[in-house]
Chains A and B, each alone.
Chain A
């Protein structure tokens, strides 16, 4: 019995070791956030003497982290809402109607699935400068929505295609209008697909960096990635403050991930295919 279970125990121990090494940078980050700068230098591996959250509160207040988080939340929520609504409507048209130009529209969105950001962001930035929308949230919401639409249209169309045609025929025979079919039949049935697209789009918007770097100079409008970078250049040698800021940004995301890990893994892997 013991001889049979030993290899499994060894395997568990090996995996635990591997996960520990893998996770250690994040453990070290949190440990260091409780230390003084001199302790960070003198004993990198030592446990902190106490759990001192004073540098966390300092990072939160002097570092503007609350404002960055709020900006990220606004931009993310607006983009995701638009992606889901516009994406579902477009997918509904492509899945449920046959019309001239359908194949062309489908291939345009399919092209968007593999089109790199580099193919359009230069002219996009000159366009936004000319329109005078840089340093507004629209400058992020608009491209994030556009970038998310390809995947949304594609995935939601796959979902809608899988629904039985009879459902829609029955609704129409009962006298439902196009709008009623979309709002009361298609949208509710699309819920799992909307969740997948929503999770992927939310993380993409929350984490996006390059466009946020180019379009937002005003510190009070910066999102978490660019805000944190600005923070790290302002307090470049105050390591304990920087570790605190990193911990503040990282820990809530890890907690959300641990709670919803199945949905999140599914959302990211299904969506990253882009």
Chain B
């Protein structure tokens, strides 16, 4: 490391800091500012203290939107993380099968809007795959207007999310499983342990940190989900799939209530950062260090060990 002329490093930093500052940091500070004001985005701005936050605390739609997003997050923890873990267990127990991993990961590539439009057809009550399948196997009684029925809409959206991301978590866990020393698994097999027991008692506990990172990604990502909800239901039917992000976009860009929308955005941000911070506390206590955004970020980078090994040690350097 070079303690050179004081100005040199700043010349290299300036363009990135300028773009990041103008497009992210400055608007973030302003959003916090708006949250204490009554403002339609054009006219005069009135400072109203904490009124927007008080409104959020008593707004039943906002409260329900949190219930919905929590249900959604629970569903995706099951459909994405648990299913991903099971799939990774299967593909790591039966060597090879690259084609399977490639196939299951495919939807992660696609724009969420494309996925959403496709699944709006899969759920179509007249010709959609779901109802057609039920019809074909003689279960016509279970047919529903999946996205139009408040009882099933949230679950229907969650399933699409699972379809996309199960493959993503499978890859993360598969990469972690590859890091487990062969001798450990061989020893267990010699002792007569079955594949399921090895998976449950050895493999999963040994990739505990990857599982925690996956949970962190799934929870923080869940709070920020928007595209699927916007295209499939936009909060409907009868508000059954309204989540904080869809509600605050409506509040700001349809109702022109920038102040209240900003307050909701700040609350949502605080929750996401709190989850991230709680995670970094937890993981730094395990390794006896101190908590900081950098620790959290580094842990996240450390999630898929083989991936990161390839990342952290560039080929040319070894």
Measured CB to CB, the residues of A under 8 A from B are 8, 11-12, 15, 18-19, 22-26, 28-29, 32, 40-41, 44-45, 82, 85-87, 89-90, 92-100, 102, 105-127, 129, 142-143, 145-147, 149-150, 153-155, 158-159, 162-165, 168, 172, 178, 182, 189-193, 196, 203, 206-207, 209-210, 213-214, 224-226, 228-229, 232, 239, 242-243, 246, 249-250, 253-254, 257-258, 261, 264-266, 268-270, 272-274
A155 & B311 in contact (Cβ 8 Å cutoff): yes
CA distance A69 to B316 in the complex (A): 36
Q: How far is the CB of A196 from chain B (nearest CB, A)?
A: 7
**Contact segment of B117-125, B148-156, B196-204:** B117-125
Are A114 and B273 in contact (CB-based, < 8 A)? yes
Q: List residues of B whose CB falls within 8 A of some A CB.
A: 1-4, 6, 8-13, 15-17, 19-20, 22-31, 33-34, 41, 90-91, 94, 97, 99-106, 108-114, 117-119, 121-122, 126-129, 132, 136, 163, 168, 171-172, 175, 213, 217, 220, 223-224, 226-227, 230-231, 244-245, 248-249, 252-253, 258, 261-262, 265-266, 268-269, 272-273, 276, 292-294, 296-297, 300-301, 303-304, 307-308, 310-317
Nearest chain A CB to B20's CB is how many angstroms away? 5
> Are A146 and B316 in contact (CB-based, < 8 A)?
no
For B122, the chain A residues whose CB sits under 8 A away are 25, 28
Cβ contact within 8 Å between A266 and B310: yes
Q: Is the CB of B129 within 8 A of A44?
A: yes
Q: A97-B3, A269-B168 are in contact. Are A193 and B314 (CB under 8 A)?
A: yes
Cβ-defined contact, A41 with B294, below 8 A = no
**Cα of A189 to Cα of B317 in the assembled complex, Å:** 8
Contact B297 A154 (CB under 8 A): yes
Residue pairs across A and B with Cβ atoms less than 8 A apart, 9 shown, are A28-B129, A45-B132, A100-B6, A116-B220, A120-B31, A122-B261, A149-B19, A154-B297, A269-B175
- The residue in chain A whose Cβ has the minimal distance to the Cβ of B12 is A93
A89 — which chain B residues lie within 8 A by C-beta?
A: 12-13, 15-16
**A98 and B109 in contact (CB under 8 A), knowing A40-B127, A116-B223, A123-B34?**
no
A96 CA to B4 CA, complexed, in Å:
10
Residues of B near A172 (CB, < 8 A) are 2
Neighbour of B30 across the interface among A8, A93, A123, A261, CB < 8 A: A123
- What residues of chain A lie closer than 8 Å to B258, measured between beta carbons? 122, 126
Main secondary structure, interface of B, reads helix
Residue pair B132, A44 in contact (C-beta under 8 Å): yes
Structural contact, A189 and B24, CB atoms closer than 8 A = no
Give chain A residues whose Cβ lies under 8 Å from the Cβ of B312. Answer: 158-159, 162
Chain A min CB distance to B138 (Å): 15
Chain A residue nearest in CB terms to B35: A122
Q: Please name all residues of chain B whose beta carbon is closer than 8 Å to the beta carbon of A122 when the two chains form the complex.
A: 27, 31, 34, 248, 252, 258, 261-262, 265
Please, which residues of chain A bring their CB within 8 A of the CB of B1? 95-98, 165
The answer, among B104, B168, B269, B303, for a CB contact under 8 Å with A119, is B269
- Least CB distance, B8 to chain A, in whole angstroms: 6
Write out the residue numbers on chain B whose beta carbons fall within 8 Å of the beta carbon of A266: 307, 310
CB-CB under 8 A from B10, the residues of chain A are 93, 99
The 3 closest A-B pairs by CB, nearest first: A123-B30, A146-B23, A93-B12
Knowing that A93-B8, A117-B224, A146-B20 are A-B contacts, what are 18 other residue pairs whose CB atoms are under 8 Å apart, sorted by A's residue number? Answer: A22-B103, A45-B136, A89-B15, A99-B10, A110-B294, A113-B297, A114-B272, A114-B273, A115-B28, A118-B268, A122-B262, A126-B41, A158-B311, A192-B310, A243-B121, A253-B109, A265-B171, A266-B307
B252 touches A107 (CB 8 A): no
Q: Decide if B268 touches A120 in the complex (CB within 8 Å).
A: no
Question: Smallest distance from the beta carbon of A28 to chain B beta carbons, Å?
Answer: 6
Closest chain A CB from B177 CB (angstroms): 14
Rounded to whole Å, the gap between the CB of A67 and the closest CB of chain B is 16
Do residues B16 and A149 form an inter-chain contact, with CB atoms below 8 A? yes
Q: Are A41 and B314 in contact (CB under 8 A)?
A: no
Q: Is the CB of B23 within 8 A of A116?
A: no
Interchain nearest-CB distance for B16 vs A (Å): 4
Task: Name which residue of chain B comes closest to A190, CB basis.
Answer: B314
Q: Chain B contacts of A153 at CB under 8 A?
A: 16
The reply to whether B121 and A120 contact each other, CB–CB distance below 8 Å, is no
- Chain B residues near A96: list those with CB within 8 A: 1-2, 9
Listed residue (A11, A191, A225) with the most chain B CB atoms within 10 angstroms of its CB: A225
